[in-house]
Amino acid sequence: MARMIKPSEGTRDVSSGGCNSLNLNHLLLASLGGLAAGAAAFVGESFLRRRRTHQGACMGNKDQKIAPLIGRKDSSRRSNLERFSYYVARQLGFEDPNECPQLCKLANAYLMKTKGYNENVYEYLVNEAEADSLYIHLLEEFERCILTYFAFNWTQSSNLISQILSDESDQKVPKLKDFVMAATRKQRFERVTKDLKVKRVFSTLVEEMKAINISSSGGSGEPHCTEVMSPVAHNKRSPVLLFMGGGMGAGKSTVLKDILQEPFWSEAGGDAVVIEADAFKETDVIYRALSSRGHHDDMLQTAELVHQSSTDAASSLLVTALNEGRDVIMDGTLAWAPFLEQTITMARNVHKHRYRMGVGYKVSEDGTTTEEYWRQETEQNGKQQNLKPYRIELVGVVCDAYLAVVRGIRRALMVKRAVRVRSQLQSHKSFANAFPKYCKLVDNARLYCTNAVAGPPQLIAWKSGNSNLLVDPEEIECLRRVSNLNPDAESINELYTDPNVLSKPGSVWNDIVLAPSRPKLQKQLTDAIRKIEKAQATQFSC
C-alpha cells in the first residue's frame, strides 16, 4: 500500500522552522531585510504595473473598465484595492460614489447577504414606475459586478477579503494594531495550540463518534453497534462508497443535494457516513478559538493551521466507516491521485481485511518520499472480515475555474474561512487531469458541470460498469480547459492559454458579463438611481 518516490522524482513542498536567540547579527540581518523588503516592494510595484498593462492588452481598451482599480496607500506597502461598493457605482457610471451612498450600502449588503437585503433593494426602487423590472435588473447587475470584481487581483485576495469585512472607518488609515497582529501571529497561534492541545483530541473524537453514530450503551462503556453498522444491514446489497470530487468551489455541495434526492440515496442517505474535512475544520476547537477573535487578517492562516488535523480526522472516520461496512459519502477535492488510488484499493479489500491509517506522506533524510495512507491489519484470533464488497461510485464536478474563485472568495466572506487562490486553481487542474484515470478504477462515474449561474448542474459525462466513459462532445471541453489552466494566474485574463476562450458563445464571461444588452440596462438603472439619490439627498437636507 506504500508508494516510494526517489528524490529525483520530486517531492511535495516541505518546510520547517526554528527560533534562535536574538543577537547583533540578527539585528544586522533584520536591518538588511528591511532594505531588501523595500527593494522587493519597488520590484513588486513594477511587476503589478506590468501585469495591469498586460491585463489591459488582453481585455482591450473597450473592456478595461471592468477590472477594479488598484493603487498604493501612502503609508502602507499594501495595495489599495477599489471597494466593491465603489466599483458597482463606477460600473453604473458614477464617477464619485458620494453621488449614490444608498446604492453603495445596498451593494455591500447584497455581497454579504445581510438579513433583508432583497427587501431593502426593492424598497429603494418601489416608487419608480417600473419598480419590478428595475429590481430584477439591479440584482442582475450586482451579480455581474461580483463576477467581474473578484476575477482580478487574485494574489491579493486575502487583503481584499479583509478590506470588505473591516469597517469603512478602519480602512482610511492603516492601524498600528494591524502590523502588531501580523507580527505576533506565529506566537499567538502557538499559544492557543498549546493551551487547547488536549481538549482538541477529545473534541475531535466526539465529532467522529457523532458522524458515525457510535454511542455508549447503558453506561457500560462498550461501543454499541447499531443495526445499520452491523453487517446484516447490507445482507441484500453491497455497501456503497461515493466519492464527490472536484476543485474547491466547483459546486460539489449543490450536486450532492440533488444526488441525495435520488431513489437510492433518499432511502440510504440518512444512515450514510458523510466525510468532509472542512466539517472537522469548522468544529476544531483551535480553529474556533482563533476565528472567534475576529481578526480578519488571520483567516487564511487559521484555516491552514488546522488543515492537516482536519484531514487526519476525516481519514480516521473514513477507515472506521469502511471497516464497519457503512454506506459512505466522501466529499473532497480528490486532487491527490495517490491518496485516492490507495483508498480505492482499500475499499476493494475491506470486506475481507480490516484497515487502519498508515504513516501518510513522509520524506526521509535522504529525500526519499513514502506514501502509505492505509495499512492492512493482521487478523486477530484468526478472525476475518465477512462483509459484502463495496460498490464504488464517483461523481465529479467541474466549472470554469474563475467561477470557482469568485464562489470561494464570496464563501470566505460568508463563513469566514478562506483558501489561497493558487491552491484552489491547482485543485481544479489536478482533479481535471486525474478524472479520466479515476473513472477506470470505479464501478460507476458521472461528471457534472456547474457553469450555469442560475441553472441546475449539467451531466456531461458518465460511465456504468465496465463500459467506457461517455461524454458530451461539446460540454466536455470544460474539463479539458480546466486541466490546462494556469494555477499561477493573477486574473481571469491569465487563466487559460487561449485568450479567446472568454469571448466564445457559451462562456459565462461572454454571455453574462459582456452581454450586448448590458449597457442599455445599466443606463436605465443609472437614470433611476440618480433620480432616487437626488430625492433622498434633498429630503435629508431638509
Query: pLDDT tens digit string along 456-480?
Result: 999 999 999 888 888 999 899 999 9
Q: Could you tell me the domains of the chain? A: 67-171+499-542 (no CATH), 230-498 (3.40.50.300)
Q: How far apart are CA 146 and CA 107, in angstroms?
A: 10
Cα(233)–Cα(239) distance, integer angstroms: 9
pLDDT confidence of residue 86: 96
**Residue ranges of the chain whose pLDDT lies below 70:** 1-63, 72-79, 167-235, 280, 283-298, 300-305, 307, 379-384, 540-542
CA dihedral (532, 533, 539, 542) in degrees, to 10, reads: -150
The long-range contacts involving 482-485, CB below 8 angstroms and separated by at least 24 positions, are: 482/247, 482/398, 482/399, 482/400, 482/401, 482/428, 482/429, 482/432, 483/429, 483/432, 483/433, 484/429, 485/401, 485/425, 485/428, 485/429
Which of 387, 382, 397, 395 minimizes the C-alpha distance to 347?
A: 387
pLDDT of residue 383: 61
Q: Provide the H-helix boundaries in 350-495.
A: 401-415, 421-441, 477-483
How many helices (H) and strands (E) in the chain?
A: 21, 14
Q: What pTM did the predictor assign?
A: 0.77
Gap between the Cα atoms of 183 and 190, Å rounded: 13
Cell numbers standing for residue 234 = 447490507
Nearest to 144 by CA among 83, 98, 92, 80: 92
